[in-house]
Structure 1
Amino acid sequence: MTTTLETPTTARTVTAAGIATTVHVLGDPATQPVVVLVHGSGPGVTAHANWRLTMPALAERFCVVAPDVVGFGSTERPEGFEYSMPAWTAHLVGVLDALGIERADVVGNSFGGGLAASLAVHHPERLRRLVLMGATVAPQRITPGLDAVWGYEPSVENMQALLELFAFDRAALGPDLARLRYEASIATGVQEAYSSMFPAPRQRALDAITQPVAAVATIGHPTLVVHGYDDRVIPVESSIALLGMLPDARLHVFGRCGHWTQIEHADAFNRLVLDFLSS
């Protein structure tokens, strides 16, 4: 498994909701069905780091679009920007608009699943199908794991501890990932933005990025819910609960898997998503 986090040649810059945004595009959104991949909220995360094993597989059938959400990665961090789910949702709509995408399938990981759900609730006409992976969709109690992720203070040791929290099998992390992610987390402006997104008390921060149960119940798009059974960041029970809220949902749970199903079980995850989106 590669651990490189270098930005590949698929990256381009577009202006989305007035923000200079880094987005990876594999394929042609004008001529192919589009799947949008929305990353999570771990420190030092980028679209490429989150989806590097997913993008090539999905690109066999789809145009793949994976943005660095505002506040993360190489996307602009506007001075004084107030990070909130409405602002993140407006930015994601801006990405679709900038690329001329009227409607897409959306895959959201963790925080990105919450953002995908917000898009489904507030802009349902922009989605066709939805994949929610270890997602922060509906109200839930914060775990010690998520509290640790959002309370990250930069050091290689702290990053290593978080990565071990994410993965069930530490061997999946590779020898250099902690250093690479740490370096990404201390790039200019990154930690300042990150620490402002999810301040303590972090239960309040989690509440602010989820949707009310009644709103979740309005998501009528066919939805695949995916979770790792051993997830210590977002508990599998949260995805089980989604089955009782979403009108058209199915659940797949990976055993011996933590919070990174798309990395720990990459081949199986890619097949699962491709089959769902192609059905």
Structure 2
Amino acid sequence: MMDKGKYVDVQGIQTHYHEEGKGEPLLLIHGSGPGVSAWANWRLVFPILSRHYHLYAPDVVGFGYTERPENIQYSVDLWVEHMIAFIETMNLRNVSIIGNSMGGALALHVANRRPDLVKKIILMGSAGIEFPITAELDAVWGYTPSIENMKKLISIFSNDQSMAENDNLVKMRYESSIEPGFQEAFSAMFPAPRQRHVNALALTENQLSKIEIPILLIHGREDRVIPLEKTSWKLSQIIPNAELHVFPNCGHWVQIEKTEPFIGQVIEFLKK
């Protein structure tokens, strides 16, 4: 399967997405790294998870191959409404969601606004609560395209430092970050000072405490982008039906560094 999927009109936005498998619907929402797309985030889990679920992985507006309408103002509100509209356009009933990083925050906002749409949520290295921005997240959102900068980001994302020496991975992510329109949209989303973007993604403790959907929080212990103690650990104590699994020797890229055990956790949680 290539990185090009299908398109669907979601409230006037030509939305690019990947779809595979059959069974219960499972929506996968990617994170906010430079050059990111649904496929870049989820390509390793797709072949296995699609044997168990009907997978849908859209490119959130402003990312990947989804249309970037002129003069659009990127905001959490826009992204959340785009995901809700995608769920409704695809007619996904009782959908479970896996959200990675920023995508986790979007999943929580969907659950807060439209709990009727959502069955269960898996959050992975997720934002969604206020925390002091890390230097590493600041570097991710402040990325300017170069091979050297992409190498630095990969060493930030992964606990396994040999990944930053993988020239194919570095080249693939760098090239996707300079596709037409990608960097222009990305640099417009997270201008400095960047603490405000962390806060914009956050829900209040009161909102979080009212989400009754079962939630599995998954986090890499060595995550330097979104630190475990300030985010998933806190979320696990506020959200009523949340459980937390921490992977040791793992950075921000759980689905890449711990692909098979991560998938095992997802399947186990969703079949309860």
TM-score computed with the length of structure 1 as normaliser:
0.94
Task: Go from structure 1 to structure 2 and tell me whether the alpha carbon gap of 1:62 and 1:6 turns closer, same or farther (over 3 Å shift).
Answer: closer
Q: What is the deviation of 1:59?
A: 1.0
Does residue 155 in structure 1 map to residue 146 in structure 2?
yes
Three-state SS of the structure 1 residue aligned to 2:188 is: helix
Partner of 1:207: 199
Partner of 2:95: 104
Which residues of 2 match residues 259-274 of structure 1 at below 5 A?
Answer: 259-274=252-267
State whether residues 24 and 53 of structure 2, in contact with CA within 8 Å, keep that contact through their aligned partners in structure 1: yes
Q: What is the deviation of 1:98?
A: 2.0
Does residue 223 in structure 1 map to residue 215 in structure 2?
yes
Output the CA distance in 1 between the equivalents of 2:157 and 2:129.
21
Output the CA distance in 2 between the equivalents of 1:126 and 1:172.
37
Partner residue of 2:247 out of 234, 254, 278? 254
State whether residues 21 and 51 of structure 2, in contact with CA within 8 Å, keep that contact through their aligned partners in structure 1: no
Three-state SS of the structure 1 residue aligned to 2:167 is: coil
What amino acid is the match of 1:27?
A: G
Q: What is the deviation of 1:188?
A: 1.1
State whether residues 229 and 256 of structure 1, in contact with CA within 8 Å, keep that contact through their aligned partners in structure 2: yes
Partner residue of 2:106 out of 111, 115, 123? 115
Q: What is the deviation of 1:103?
A: 2.2
Three-state SS of the structure 1 residue aligned to 2:244 is: strand
Deviations 1:16-67 (A, max 9, x none): 1221011100035xxx310100000000001011001111211111100000
Does residue 145 in structure 1 map to residue 130 in structure 2?
no
What amino acid is the match of 1:268?
A: P
Deviations 1:196-239 (A, max 9, x none): 11111100111111111111111110000000000010001111
Partner of 1:196: 188
Does residue 7 in structure 1 map to residue 3 in structure 2?
yes
State whether residues 154 and 163 of structure 2, in contact with CA within 8 Å, keep that contact through their aligned partners in structure 1: no
Partner of 2:227: 235
Deviations 1:235-258 (A, max 9, x none): 011111111110001100000000
What amino acid is the match of 2:242?
A: A
What residue ranges of structure 1 are gaps of 5+ in the alignment?
none
Partner residue of 1:167 out of 142, 146, 158? 158
TM-score computed with the length of structure 2 as normaliser:
0.96
Of residues 160-169 and 94-103 in structure 1, the stretch that sits farther from structure 2 once superposed is 94-103
Partner residue of 2:119 out of 105, 120, 128? 128
Output the CA distance in 2 between the equivalents of 1:6 and 1:185.
17
Q: What is the deviation of 1:6?
A: 4.6
Partner of 1:57: 48
What residue ranges of structure 2 are gaps of 5+ in the alignment?
none
Q: CA RMSD in A?
A: 1.3
Output the CA distance in 1 between the equivalents of 2:12 and 2:83.
11
Does residue 19 in structure 1 map to residue 13 in structure 2?
yes
Three-state SS of the structure 2 residue aligned to 1:140 is: coil
Output the CA distance in 2 between the equivalents of 1:266 and 1:149.
22
State whether residues 17 and 90 of structure 1, in contact with CA within 8 Å, keep that contact through their aligned partners in structure 2: no
Output the CA distance in 2 between the equivalents of 1:200 and 1:172.
28
Number of aligned positions between the proteins = 270
Q: What is the deviation of 1:71?
A: 0.5
Output the CA distance in 1 between the equivalents of 2:203 and 2:266.
24
Partner of 1:90: 81
Partner residue of 2:67 out of 58, 73, 76? 76
What amino acid is the match of 2:269?
A: F
What amino acid is the match of 2:73?
A: E
Output the CA distance in 2 between the equivalents of 1:260 and 1:47.
14
Deviation beyond 6 Å, 4+ runs, structure 1: none
Output the CA distance in 2 between the equivalents of 1:78 and 1:6.
24
State whether residues 16 and 66 of structure 2, in contact with CA within 8 Å, keep that contact through their aligned partners in structure 1: yes
